[in-house]
Chain A
């Protein structure tokens, strides 16, 4: 017996909207809600806060329609690099809803309980048959500003036709604006000046490739929004210099986050920020001209620092990191990339001084060797994530210490660490039994032995990636299948010793698997795929390119049971034919992406599934 529709008879609109807002802004969920019934459609549209728009939808007319459909937008992201896979809206399509509601005043829309809308479409003529595919212009921004009075965040990426005028009109209409992200736009200082003048709750400014912006604009933000500014990011904006940072240091005492990627910034700029912004929690630097003098000062003055990221060939030496270790006792996250002049001493100082350290990344810092990581293992017992990339000089004993001392470790990433062997992995496995994520790539000394230990000890493993560790074979996967029932992501791409036995063991032991990459595993065949079909019904994504042995039969078994599949990559599989491709398309109703050779796609398949096919075209 069908029950009563209580939710629509009992629950008032404002509580429905509240429930929608608890959907964590998940687009898929909101889209589903819009399709449930008339009332839910209207409430959903009236309460959706977030929208992301790609290029061809970014024309001014579309913006006009958009703000009438979604009446409470707060977070708008426009990215003109992206083209939309769906057919762009034509006026005849979208206008339909609006036209029909206008035409039938109260008649058929009496069943709708909705907000009365003000259709001020007069200004924009919509051609019935052609919608001009122009990009977003100032006019469009004007409409956006007027249509979203509660706008909180605006992100404009490569919107080349927008100028300061557009931003000025947004600033005037949207006084609650909190965050602005401009990338590759030609907006100039005038735009930022308007934000500084009108938006008194402004917290977050991010500028990237903004050639039109000079110090004048940033200084006006620093002065106008000094009391509220919490986050500032400046990357590849050559005309923004130390002068901006001096203003920030002078006015923005509550600044918490600073990201700088610039050749125009020198010590004097960073020093000014260090002196003025004692609440700084997050600092990311990629500035070739900044030296120890400034970074040492950060260590002495920014005592609340929690995250420090240093990238790319900077001149910092151990002096700076010793100062950080001495002063920044709250440091949680440290990331060092290509910092050639840092030695083990840096990590020793951090290990001793920063006992709250939870995440460490060392990427390509060739003068940091085993001793540095040993020190971390000995002192940083709170460590949950360790990333070592391109660290050929770090040896097993470093991970011995980590295995002994960092029992809370949840994630370990090793890339191109050619000195790390099975012994190290065994020690990690035995010591860090809470490990959830293990990624090992191109560490040629790691083989079955290490991974067998992981399978025996790390019961909570979710995510295992062993790319191109070509000594790993079926025995490793048997152990994982026995010991890691929560595994949902597995990548053994390039582990060519892995075959059907290993894949079968995983399918039996890891029923929660959703993402699998067995590409370049040339010994995996139809038996493996059949086993996956039987054991892993939740599979969403499979990459089996270069699996020379698999045929249409195996694929057929797989998709018969793995109906939730969303992505399938199968290029360079010589025995998969057009029939196999068609089977994937027809069996998997949720399929979103299929990567396959062009000639394997029949016209019929192309008609059915054009939007999900990514076709590989090989030149003969």
Chain B
């Protein structure tokens, strides 16, 4: 973060965010700065007014603020390892709807680290699963015809298996 002479002073300020049901969230300046979108908005208008965020619900906003507040605090005080553990806990029991709304909020408010974290979490849910299992998890309808599926399987085989990439087996050489 750039060293802004007014940063220390601004830290004392609170930023007012008006969300979808017209509730006002008051957050510390430093916390709000985690969002690139707010950073830009506030650099123009200053911290006096209220920033409208009509497409974010209070439930989601609360989670966003929780994340940003923790990370502001953790920046220099908490070890990377513990931050990772906190991040995992933070997302742990969230249902899909909340998770995805949270992603959209990070998209709108431009909060890179939270978005990356959620994308990683989604990827973790996809890892090591078959297509059918993935569809189960995310309630996706299979709109591929059997011919198309066969076709795609064929394409997949076309490009070589990464894991099967041959290495000279030491065992084979020596035991012979």
Contacts and interface: CB of A to CB of B under 8 A. Distances in A.
Contacts of B126: 19, 23, 29, 32-33
A7 B140 contact: yes
Given A10-B100, A35-B144, A94 B154 contact: yes
Interface stretch (B12-20, B66-74, B80-88, B159-167): B159-167
Interface string B125-150: 01111110011001111111001110
A19 B139 contact: no
A22 B123 contact: yes
A31 B151 CA distance: 12
B110 to A, nearest CB: 13
Most buried by B among A2, A6, A36: A36
Interface in B24-44: none
Contacts of B148: 97
A53 B155 CA distance: 12
B135 to A, nearest CB: 6
A135 to B, nearest CB: 15
Given A37-B135, A37-B141, A52 B107 contact: no
A27 B162 contact: yes
Interface in A1-57: 2-8, 10-12, 15, 18-23, 25-29, 31-38, 40-41, 50-54, 57
Interface residues of B, number: 48
Contacts of B141: 5, 37
Nearest to B147: A96
B140 A35 contact: no
A488 to B, nearest CB: 15
A82 interface: yes
Nearest to B134: A36
Interface majority SS (helix, strand, loop, mixed), chain B: helix
A15 B142 contact: no
A21 B115 CA distance: 13
A84 interface: yes
B131 A35 contact: yes
A36 B149 contact: no
A617 interface: no
Contacts of A123: none
Contacts of A88: 158
Contact of A53 (B103, B129, B159): B159
B7 interface: no
A6 B137 CA distance: 11
B119 A15 contact: yes
A115 interface: no
A37 B142 contact: yes
A86 interface: yes
Contacts of A7: 96, 100, 122, 138, 140
A88 B127 CA distance: 28
A165 interface: no
Contacts of A467: 171
A41 B154 CA distance: 13
Contacts of B144: 35, 37-38, 41
A41 B152 contact: yes
Contacts of B128: 28-29
Interface in B75-110: 96-97, 100-101, 103-104, 107
Contact of A6 (B97, B152, B153, B161): B97
A32 B131 contact: yes
A52 B96 contact: no
A69 interface: yes
Most buried by A among B135, B143, B147, B160: B160
Contact of B107 (A15, A66, A79): A15
B158 A57 contact: yes
Nearest to A543: B171
A12 B107 contact: yes
B156 A34 contact: yes
A89 B158 contact: yes
B162 A52 contact: yes
Contacts of B135: 36-37
A34 B152 contact: yes
Interface string A77-99: 10100101011110001101100
B23 interface: no
A469 to B, nearest CB: 14
Contact of B149 (A3, A19, A35, A93): A35
Most buried by A among B101, B138, B151: B138
A106 interface: no
A12 B100 CA distance: 10
B55 interface: no
B157 interface: yes
Contact of B160 (A25, A26, A33, A84): A84
Interface in A464-493: 467
Contacts of B113: none
Given A6-B138, A15-B115, A86-B157, A29 B152 contact: no
A50 B162 contact: yes
A111 interface: yes
Contact of A89 (B130, B139, B152, B154): B154
A5 B139 contact: yes
A4 B139 contact: yes
Nearest to A2: B139
Contacts of A87: 154
A2 B161 CA distance: 34
A335 to B, nearest CB: 15
Given A5-B140, A23-B126, A52 B155 contact: no
Most buried by B among A2, A8, A32, A96: A32
B159 A94 contact: no
A11 to B, nearest CB: 6
Contact of A18 (B97, B101, B119): B119
A52 B160 contact: yes
Nearest to B138: A7
A467 B171 CA distance: 10
B154 A93 contact: yes
B143 A111 contact: yes
A434 to B, nearest CB: 17
Nearest to A32: B131
A396 to B, nearest CB: 24
A36 B143 CA distance: 8
Contacts of B115: 15, 18
Given A35-B152, A86-B157, A467-B171, 4 more contacts: A27-B159, A37-B141, A37-B142, A84-B157
20 contacts: A6-B138, A11-B103, A18-B116, A19-B122, A22-B122, A23-B126, A27-B156, A27-B163, A32-B129, A32-B134, A34-B131, A35-B131, A35-B152, A35-B153, A57-B159, A82-B160, A86-B157, A86-B158, A89-B155, A97-B155
The 9 closest A-B pairs by CB, nearest first: A22-B123, A35-B131, A86-B157, A52-B160, A31-B156, A3-B139, A19-B122, A19-B119, A10-B100
